Structure 1
Amino acid sequence: MSEGEGSPVQPFPVRIPFVEDLGLTLHRMADGEAELRVDIDERHHNSWAVAHGGVVMTLLDVAMAHAARSSPGGGPEGGPGVVTVEMKTSFMRPGEGQLKAVGKLLHRTATLAFCEGSIFNVDGQLCAHGTATFKYIRALPGQGRTLKSLQRR
C-alpha cells in the first residue's frame, strides 16, 4: 500500500493545519466514503514506538468527517462543514508503517451524520475501528461569538 498504489493523492477540500502537520493524505472522497493514509514515523509515536492513539483517533475522525461531507448533494467542495459531536474508538493492534483509514457515512439527517471508520495496516489487518456522530454546520461561533467560516481551498 504505497503512495502509488490505489487512489492517487488529492487535495483536501478545506484547509486543516493540524491534519497537514500530521502528514495525512486524502485519496478518495465521494458518495459517503473517504479514504485517508498516513506514513507513521517517529513524530507520530507513543512511548512504545508505535502510532499514538491520538494520531489513530485523528485519522479516524478526519476520514469519517470527510465521508459525512461527501454525501450526495455535497458538491465538488464537499458540502457544509461538520463538527464532531461524539466518537468512540476501539484499538485492535498497534499502528505501524503506512496506515489506511476508510470512513463511511451510515445515515444522515438534515443536521446530523452517523459514520463508521476503520484503520488498516499494510497487511490489511484491522488496527482500529470507530463510530462517530457529526453535526452539519455552515459557520462556527468563535471567541467573542464571531462566526468562523470554513477555510476552503
Structure 2
Amino acid sequence: MKRTPPLSFPVRIPFVEQLGFELHSLGDGRAELRVDIRESHLNSWEVAHGGVLMSLLDVAMAHAARSIHLHQEGMGPGVVTIEMKTSFMRPAEGELRAVGELLHHTATMAFCEGRVLGEDGRLCAHATATFKYLRALPGQGRQLKALQRREAE
C-alpha cells in the first residue's frame, strides 16, 4: 500500500486517537482512513477485533458525510450515528484501509457506505450507516455540548 503522510482530523476524537487511526483523504463525499493493526487491536484469534473494524468504518463514513461541508466555517455541522449494519468477510490483519462514501443526504441526514480493505486489497468488512447532522448535542442535564473542533494549524 502506498504510504502518504496523514492529514489532521478536522475534529478531535480522543477514542480515534487512542486507536491510532489516520486520515488520508477527505472531500467530495469520500474519506479514507488507515490503521496499522497492533496487539491492543486483537481479538482471541489474534486478528483485528470486530469493534476496531466497526469503529474504523463508522469514522470513515462519518467523515465522508461531513466532507460535503468542508467549505463551511468549522466544516459545518457534526454528525452522530443513528444506525449501522456491518458484515465481516475475512480476518483483518496488518495495515487496513477504510473508505467511506456518502451515498445520499438531506439537510438533516446522511446515508453512507464503507469498506475495510486488507493490505492485499481484499474486502475484510462492509457497512452501511445513517447519520444525523447536528450543530450541538444535548448532554447530561440537557446541556448542549459543542463539537470539539481542531485549532487552526
Whether these two folds match at TM > 0.5 is: yes
CA distance in 2, matches of 1:84, 1:29: 18
What residue in structure 1 maps to residue 43 of structure 2?
46
Q: Residue 7 of structure 2 contacts residue 23 of structure 2 at CA under 8 Å; is this kept in 1?
A: yes
Contact 2:69 2:75 in 1 (8 A): no
TM-score (norm 2): 0.94
Match for 1:131: what amino acid? T
Task: Give, in angstroms, the shift of residue 73 of structure 1.
Answer: 5.9
Match for 1:88 among 85, 90, 104?
A: 85
Match of 1:135 in 2: 132
Once the two structures are superposed, what CA deviation does each residue of 1:85-131 show, in whole Å capped at 9, x if it has no partner? Answer: 00000000011000000000000000000000000011100000000
Q: Secondary structure at the match of 2:10?
A: coil
1:37 to 14, 34, 41: 34
Distance (Å, rounded) in 2 between the aligned partners of 1:109 and 1:46? 38
Aligned counterpart in structure 2 of residue 99 of structure 1, from 96, 99, 119: 96
Unaligned ranges ≥5, structure 1: none
Structure 1 contact 116–130 (Cα < 8 Å) conserved: yes
Letter in 2 for 1:33: R
- The structural deviation recorded for 1:71 is 1.3
Distance 1:94 1:132 in 2: 21
Q: Which consecutive segments of 4 or more residues in structure 1 shift more than 6 A?
A: none
Q: CA contact under 8 A between 1:31 and 1:72: conserved in structure 2? A: no
CA RMSD of aligned residues (A): 1.3
Give 1:75 deviation, angstroms. 3.1
Superposition deviation, residue 76 in structure 1: 6.7
Unpaired stretches in structure 2, ≥5 consecutive residues: none
1:112 pairs, out of 87, 109, 113, with 109
Identity %: 71
Instruction: Give me the whole-angstrom Cα distance separating, in 2, the residues matched to 1:108 and 1:73.
Output: 15
Aligned equivalents of 2:74, 2:23: Cα separation in 1: 14
Partner of 2:55: 58
Whether contact under 8 Å (2:27, 2:70) holds in the other structure is no
Deviation at 1:149, TM superposition (A): 0.5
Are 2:36 and 2:94, in contact at CA under 8 Å, matched by a contact in 1?
yes
